[in-house]
Amino acid sequence: MSKRNNNKSHHGNGGNFKNQNRNNVHKHHKYQGGHNNQRPAQHKQQPGKKVEKVNTSIKAPLFDKSKLLSSWKINRRVGPGYVNGQNTCFLNSVLECLTYTPPLAQQMLREEHQKQCRMDGFCALCAMELHVRRCLKDEKSFSKGAAILPRYFTSNLRALSKTLRLGRQEDAHEFYMFMLSAFQKASIQGLGKLPPKVEETALVYQIFGGKLRSQLKCYSCKATSDNYEACLDLSVDLTNKADSLKKAFENFIKVDVIGSDDPNNRYKCDHCKQMVKAGKQMTINELPMMLTIHLKRFAFDMYRGCMSKITTFVDYPETLDMAPYTSQDKKIKKAEYNLYAVLVHYGYSCDSGHYYAYVKAPNGQWNRMDDEDVTPVSLKEVLSQTAYMLFYQQSSITTTADIAIPAAAPPSISTTKLPEQLLPLAVSEPIPKKVLVDITAKKPSTPERRVKFVDQSAAISDNPRAWTVSSTDRPRRSLRGNLSPETYSANVGDISAWSILTKEQLRKKQQEKKRRRFRIKLESKKNPWVVGNPY
């Protein structure tokens, strides 16, 4: 699992994994500090720099977990696709997965954060609330062929991370972690420096947060030492012939022996004061409500002297039992999770490719979300993908005492609308006179502070079922490594570059797109440098 305070370097890298994998080539579970009860080296205070005092007046929890709805309350269809403007498929695919995360989406629909936001400038949670409302409540978004530009985020990439650049290929998992970090920052803004245990009760951790335990056991005196760290996702290696998610998890919790080969590299036990062999094991101590699994599809190629993508198919189930990978003292007999989203990297290289996602709509229908294209698919297709990230929803936990602990009281599916105080009706936005519009999120509680978002709306004809909008200018390069389909692309803001296509013209363009992707796939297979699992 990605740890809360890891040292992973967040450099921009597109549909490639190159920069992200530098610190991930070795086994993921490495913790800072030792198990010898040694304190890490203290950083020297810089002259004139004040140390921020920890605010102990704020009590946990920061967010009441009982307010979260783990299952969809209303039976909704899938929403619109997202315009790929300047190589933003990494952003689109992550947003699709987050938008169809039930507890996050339904909390965003309540629009509670905007009323009490303390952020100056861009706020990721305010932007997410506006985005989810457009996707799941605006009637225009449910029109056939509808697509929106997630301008709230594309125009504020630098606010999410200074390493991100519009128009450059980026890594989807890295962007996902930037998003969660921005959500966390917005949740605790204005509260000062908080104790870690209090920070870990904010909205993001209540939804995605879990806890890992790293245990060292002395093989001489049998003494144990434990380290615990909060985490927001689980990253697993695909080495050691991990051709299934089960095998990858078994490798994750496998005991590493310290000092077995080199006597000079043994572990000094604090209990028996001897240099001994020791076993180190990682287990999951607390399971999250929503489990995000990152498959590390990269490895160092000894022959080429660079990083290569692992293209091996990894089998993953629709229903996942996480009980075998939890700490034994938790006595968890069964922990069931259900798949609700899959993020895919299409391509054979770490340097380029294309991202798209599969999401399960509130009505239970699986859909492929490939930028603007939204296509209903079967579960069989979903489970046959070369996945990069997997998203699971906790359904139930059973202990060895056979006491079922439900993840949350799942409400019954209803086609009726919720009360207005829970989900206020959204009014469809009129077509703006300008292509770029400043959308101000008003906050009654703090009228002197406003959060501005720049939105870019696409012109929609009177009959969206029969028409679509596309760019007539040359398209930009996509993450597939070839020219992208004729979409809004970089010239979406130029009305003069737009043209209206009939359904027949659109059908021909989509057929050409499929043929082009098939040719690219054939050409890639002919490449002698394509690397599968090198292990």
The answer to whether residue 46 sits within a structural domain is no
Q: What is the pLDDT of residue 399?
A: 83
The answer to whether residue 531 sits within a structural domain is no
Active site residue 89: yes
Q: What is the pLDDT of residue 36?
A: 38
Active site residue 269: no
What tens digit of pLDDT does each residue of 421-467 get? 333 433 334 434 433 334 344 444 444 444 443 333 333 333 433 33
pTM, two decimals, is 0.69
Domain that holds residue 152: 2-24+65-525
Catalytic residue, candidates 35, 89, 173, 269: 89
The answer to whether residue 214 sits within a structural domain is yes
**14 pLDDT above the threshold of 70:** no
Look at strands 498-501 and 224-237 and give their pairing. Answer: unpaired
The answer to whether residue 238 sits within a structural domain is yes
From the list 353, 299, 345, the residue with the least C-alpha distance to 20 is 299
What tens digit of pLDDT does each residue of 336-377 get? 999 999 999 998 877 778 999 999 999 999 999 999 999 999
The answer to whether residue 44 sits within a structural domain is no
CA distance 490 to 182: 26
Provide the pLDDT confidence category of residue 17 given band limits of 50, 70 and 90: low
Neighbour-count burial of 36, counting CB atoms closer than 10 A to its CB (0-12 exposed, 13-18 middle, 19+ buried) = exposed
The answer to whether residue 301 sits within a structural domain is yes
- For the segment 68-81, the average pLDDT, to the nearest whole number, is 91
User: What CATH number should be reported for the domain holding residue 103?
Assistant: 3.90.70.10
Q: What is the pLDDT of residue 48?
A: 54
Contact 222, 246 (CB under 8 A): no
The answer to whether residue 31 sits within a structural domain is no
The answer to whether residue 279 sits within a structural domain is yes
- Give every CB contact of residue 512 below 8 A, 6+ residues apart in sequence: none
Which phi and psi (to 5°) does residue 146 adopt? -70, 145
Per DSSP, the chain holds a count of helices (H) and strands (E) of 12, 23
Q: What's the total number of domains in the chain?
A: 1
The torsion of the CA quartet 507, 509, 511, 516, rounded to 10 degrees, works out to -170
